[in-house]
């Protein structure tokens, strides 16, 4: 996702663009709530993919490495589970 974003997003991204991406992710979560999981696997996959891409875009705009952020979150989760 990062490589795609680097090629496609303009270099002069503004802070209001981060707000727009946050709103896109929030809308995706609202749509996901409406899906009858697990009955509609394809739609669930589509919405989760859209949300993940929005989050990757938000990481890019915030200059955060999404893979590193996920790795750290996974480590925190594992530390919590292993207590």
For residues 35-41, average pLDDT: 78
Backbone angles phi, psi at 60, to 5 degrees: -60, -45
- Whether residue 42 contacts residue 48, with contact meaning beta carbons closer than 8 Å, is answered with no
pTM: 0.77
At 70, is the secondary structure helix, strand, or coil? Answer: helix
Query: Alpha-carbon distance 19 to 22, whole Å?
Result: 5
pLDDT digits (tens, 9 = 90+) for 5-36: 778 877 666 666 888 999 999 999 999 888 87
**Between these two residues, 34 and 73, which has the higher pLDDT value?**
73
């Amino acid at each position: 996702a990062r490589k795609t974003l680097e090629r496609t997003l303009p270099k002069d991204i503004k802070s209001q663009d981060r707000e727009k991406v946050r709103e896109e992710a929030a809308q995706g979560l609202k749509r996901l709530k409406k899906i009858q999981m697990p009955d509609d696997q394809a739609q669930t996959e589509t919405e989760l993919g859209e949300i993940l891409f929005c989050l990757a875009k938000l990481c890019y705009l915030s200059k955060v490495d999404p893979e590193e952020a996920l790795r750290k979150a996974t480590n925190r989760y594992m530390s919590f589970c292993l207590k």
